[in-house]
Amino acid sequence: FEDFKIIETASSVPQRVVDNDELSSMMDTSDAWITQRTGIKRRHVAVEETTSSLATAVATKLLAKSGLKPTEIDLIVVATMSPDYLTPSVSAMVQGNLGADQAIAFDIDAACSGFVYGLKVVRQMLKADRPMHAILIGAETLSKLLDWHDRSTSVLFGDGAAGVLMTNQSGDSGSFIAEDLKTLGKLGKHLTAGQVGVKSPFAAPKTSYSPFFKMNGHRVYGFAVKNVPESINRALEKANLTVDDIDCFVLHQANERIIEKIADTLGASMNQFPVNINEYGNTSAASEPILLAELVAKQRIKRGDVIALSGFGGGLTVGTMIIKY
């Protein structure tokens, strides 16, 4: 059986849209500040939706587009840092909701690099001597982890989910080309969220913990503009390709300025770096598949195109995967 290929893409975002002006009426911020620093204009925020309901909607669309039955799915992986529960996993909930009884399901957490890390995991699991179908979804409701009194983080993020249906069966197009993944755990303290405290009757009385998202924006910015181009260059080198050979870079949408800086460092044109952060904010593990699904729908990405997906974020983690779509 061949290396993996992506058959379908789909996304699902919450109904409620919150624009920068609405945030400005809630806290000391402005459309001008948010737009200038990040490129974000509005974001979707979950009201009724949950990470699992958004992920289930994505999986349902993938099945409908492909014509596959739920029982034809062998593997469901959800990349998330904002699951409904610590257990069951979001992917197990999706499996149950779909009735995908033959699929094994588990989540992975590599924060905003989750989709690229997920591609690596699913790729390995599709190396089998039988035809297989897998669903990989990035799904987040970061709004529930944010301190809505902290303007330095709450304006940056949005909720949403998107994913891909993958197979190892041979066909006309699509294949793995090269990858580069790296984890810098020593820098993890610069981006933390959802700390789970020690609370038993035996715990030290003053043990305190923070459920909220905390980020040293400057450190993460510096990490991204250095490590993402390095990761892309290592992947290009392994593939024996140059920047000009990439039809489209599908980058994690954390900040438009970061994407512009990365393009500049690589000596690439911004035409190769489509951006949709203005509509969604930073949706962590969902941002690359949301962009991918949009670009495929618009035919900006076509069969046979060489694309580089690159993510970075909590962990700290970074990862690039180059594929033929």
Residue 220 makes contact with ligand ACO by CB under 6 A:
yes
Cβ at position 325, least distance to ligand ACO in Å: 25
Residues 212/189, Cβ–Cβ less than 8 Å: no
Residue type, position 253, single letter = Q
Cβ at position 114, least distance to ligand ACO in Å: 9
Residue 248 is among the residues annotated as catalytic for this protein: no
Residue type, position 237, single letter = E
Cβ at position 27, least distance to ligand ACO in Å: 7
Judged by CB under 6 A, the residue of 218, 240, 271, 298 near ligand ACO is 218
Identify which of residues 161 and 254 has a Cβ nearer to ligand ACO in the complex.
Answer: 254
Identify which of residues 1 and 33 has a Cβ nearer to ligand ACO in the complex.
Answer: 33
Identify which of residues 132 and 191 has a Cβ nearer to ligand ACO in the complex.
Answer: 191
- Which of 170, 126, 162, 161 lies closest to 142, judged by CA? 161
Considering only the stretches 166-174, 251-259, 264-272, 286-294, report the one whose residues sit in contact with ligand ACO under the rule CB under 6 A: 251-259
Residue 278 makes contact with ligand ACO by CB under 6 A:
no
Judged by CB under 6 A, the residue of 111, 137, 235, 277 near ligand ACO is 111
Q: Nearest-CB residue to ligand ACO?
A: 313
Catalytic residue among 112, 227, 248, 255: 112
Judged by CB under 6 A, the residue of 135, 181, 236, 254 near ligand ACO is 254
Judged by CB under 6 A, the residue of 224, 228, 259, 286 near ligand ACO is 224
Judged by CB under 6 A, the residue of 68, 75, 98, 112 near ligand ACO is 112
Catalytic residue among 20, 44, 252, 255: 252
Tokens matching residue 238: 């392994």
Q: Show contacts with ligand ACO in window 141-180 (CB under 6 A).
A: 151-152, 155
Residue 112 is among the residues annotated as catalytic for this protein: yes
Judged by CB under 6 A, the residue of 221, 230, 261, 324 near ligand ACO is 221
CA distances to 59, 191, 297 from 165, in Å = 8, 30, 15
Report the 3 state secondary structure along the chain. CCCCEEEEEEEECCCCEEEHHHHHCCCCCCHHHHHHHHCCCEEECCCCCCHHHHHHHHHHHHHHHHCCCHHHCCEEEEECCCCCCCCCCHHHHHHHHHCCCCCEEEEECCHHHHHHHHHHHHHHHCCCCCCCEEEEEEEECHHHCCCCCCHHHHCCECCEEEEEEEECCCCCCCEEEEEEEEECHHHHHHEECCCCCCCCCCCCCCCCCCCCCEECHHHHHHHHHHHHHHHHHHHHHHHCCCHHHCCEEEECCCCHHHHHHHHHHHCCCHHHCCCCHHHHCECHHHHHHHHHHHHHHCCCCCCCCEEEEEEEECCCEEEEEEEEC
Judged by CB under 6 A, the residue of 33, 60, 120, 146 near ligand ACO is 33
Cβ at position 12, least distance to ligand ACO in Å: 19
Identify which of residues 196 and 198 has a Cβ nearer to ligand ACO in the complex.
Answer: 196
Footprint on this chain of ligand ACO (rule: CB under 6 A): 29, 33, 37-38, 111-112, 151-152, 155, 191, 217-218, 220-221, 224, 254-255, 258, 282, 284, 313-314
